[in-house]
Structure 1
Amino acid sequence: MSNTNMMMPKLGLGTFRLKEQVVIDSVRNGLELGYRHIDTAQIYGNEAEVGQAIEESGVPRDELFVTTKIWLENLAPEKLIESLQESLKKLRLAQVDLTLIHWPTRDASPTIADSMKALYQAQQMGLTKAIGISNFTIEQMKQAIDAVGAQNIASQQIEIHPFLQNEKVAAFAASQGIPVTAYMPLAYGKVLTDTVINHIAQTHSVSAAQVALAWSLQKGYTVIPSSTKRENLASNLDALKVVLSDAEMKQIAELERNERLVSPEFAPDWD
């Protein structure tokens, strides 16, 4: 079975910016509510707390899908595998389900090919079931594909929400059979105040957040919203039940304004 056929739950729990007891409570509540997909990263500084919450939840390991991401300073082949082993210790897991290159390096060394081959080696060692990429441009995706093959890239995780729809990158990923995971799907909460989204929400008697998530889900993306509130975690999960009409999908598509919320100084030159 290729990586792209893996069973990643379509709606997961993001943990970006959540620390210490806050992230423990969020993951615990999420697992109690039925979330089975947890997304973390080395740079979030919360892998140990995520691991604690998972272990204490009592949810069987084979029911969970756990993603982590390799940070920039660990992309060199001689560091990557060791850093992933350290992540596994923190997460209290023998293996994660998916490991991503968090950001492509802008430097000549290590190259994307070097990092992808090291990540593929980690997969062969059994440290991760699947591998993938995050925040890659189309050109960088091509380099990753050349290194390990599109069939071995299980996900491209990129910022996608109604105000930044990233259609070019998403379309290229689809053309290569690479599933897309949308992070920041609620645009730091900005979708909650949008007039169009709220009108659609009223039509369905659901929340604006549920509409935004349903839009991404109907586009075929996996979504990983985060929340510190149990009621919001439950509400987000119910977005799986919301079905938008073609006309409503088109209305949301027209909200595109290239409003990128995540673009650090080391970000690539975006498509």
Structure 2
Amino acid sequence: MPVLGLGVYLNEDPVPACLAALKHGYRHIDSARMYRNEAAVGRAVKESGVPREQVFVTSKIYDPEHGYESTLRAVQDSLDKFGFNYLDLYLIHSPLSGKTKRLETYKALLRAKEEGKLKSIGVSNYSPKHIDEIKEAGLELPAVNQVELHPFCQQKPIVEYCRAHNIVVQAYSPLVRGKLDDAVITALAQKYGKTPAQIAVRWSLQKGFVPLPKSANPERVVANAQVFDFSLADEDVAKLDALDRGKAGAVTWNPVDAE
């Protein structure tokens, strides 16, 4: 899995952003059924000229479609929309459907994986209690848990649990939906000669996360990935760590406490 991905949430025409990303070195695109742009992402991958096997593509099933048979149908529908034979990663988008349907959905994803339609499966917005359900059912653990994650919402209990269970943590909204005018971030951007967005992405990488910065602007897409030519000093990582406000720092739905 490439350590940096392009998010395409709320991007009805992600083709320009995806083409810019793939032209400038991105090899990871994060979509979802709820985004209604799987077909456009698939078209962009084809138009890019980058071989399909070199692009890591993710999609997600949202809670109204949860259930065993409905999940199998959704996976096939996603493949049809993308125009792909397989997806690299498929996630349960949230835990909002309740325990029974969560487990039915997960079992269906395991079947789709066995059939070769999915290379790997995982979850999103799951807390430890939701992953424990999978564990207690005797099923293999998810490869990934994708959660809102940035300096203001660091999800420390979830991160700690995932690390203890070898689950990759993907960070969505790593740019805090553009709300990066914090004094600490601004000062670090000036110190390193980088944008606030680049500081946020670099922090995420150094924490061991897989950030998924989203932008519909091709120039920003390229800039957001220009983060491998510098490192934040330990004391500057600590300054960003100190910005954590827990769940109060979330800027999205963050349904990690769902029953």
Q: TM-score normalized by structure 1?
A: 0.91
Aligned to 2:125: 135
CA contact (8 A) 2:95 2:258 kept: no
Q: 1:232 aligns with which of 214, 220, 243?
A: 220
**In structure 2, distance between residues paired with 1:180 and 1:80:** 23
Question: What is the number of equivalent residue pairs in this alignment?
Answer: 256
Unaligned runs of 5+ in 1: 1-7
Distance 1:205 1:268, change over 3 A: closer
Unaligned segments of structure 2, at least 5 residues: none
Q: CA deviation at 1:228?
A: 1.7
Kindly provide the amino acid, as one letter, of the partner of residue 130 in structure 1: S
| CA distance in 2: counterparts of 1:268 and 1:33, whole angstroms | 34
- The Cα offsets for residues 56-96 of structure 1, whole Å up to 9 and x where unpaired, read as 11110111100000111221001101111110111110000
Report the counterpart of residue 241 of structure 1 in structure 2: 229
Q: Distance in 1 between matches of 2:136 and 2:53?
A: 32
Paired residue type of 1:225: P
- Contact 1:106 1:268 (8 Å CA) reproduced: no
Other-structure match for 2:11: 18
1:161 corresponds, among 150, 163, 166, to 150
Give the AA of the match of 1:117: K
Q: Which amino acid aligns with 1:257?
A: R
Paired residue secondary structure (2:76): helix
1:215 is aligned to 2:203 = yes
Contact 2:149–2:155, Cα closer than 8 Å, also in 1: yes
Query: Aligned partners of 1:13 and 1:269: how far apart in 2?
Result: 26
- Structure 1 residue 106 displacement after superposition: 4.0
Name which of 39, 58, 67 aligns with 1:76: 67
1:33-54 deviations in Å (ceiling 9; x for gaps): 1111000000000111111111
Pairwise CA distance, 1:139 = 0.3
Q: 2: CA distance between counterparts of 1:224 and 1:99?
A: 15
Distance 2:156 2:172 in 1: 14
Distance apart, 1:18 and its partner CA: 0.3
Structure 1's 41 and 204: CA in aligned 2 closer, same or farther, altered over 3 A?
Answer: same
- Could you tell me which amino acid in structure 2 is paired with residue 137 of structure 1? S
CA distance in 1, matches of 2:232, 2:258: 30
Give the counterpart of 2:111 among 106, 115, 121. 121
Task: Verify: 1:180 aligned to 2:169, yes or no.
Answer: yes
Instruction: State the Cα RMSD in Å.
Output: 1.5
For 1:88 and 1:46, the matched residues in 2 are separated by 12
**Equivalent in 51, 58, 68 of residue 49 of structure 2:** 58
After superposition, what is the alpha-carbon deviation per residue over 1:203-240, rounded to whole angstroms, capped at 9, x for unaligned? 11111111111101000000110112222111111123
> How far apart are 1:198 and its partner, in Å?
1.3
* Structure 2: distance between partners of 1:240 and 1:178: 24
Q: 1:75 to 1:205 in 2, by over 3 A?
A: same
TM-score, normalising length: structure 2: 0.95
Post-superposition CA distance 1:152-193 (Å, at most 9, x none): x211000001110111101100000101000000100112x1
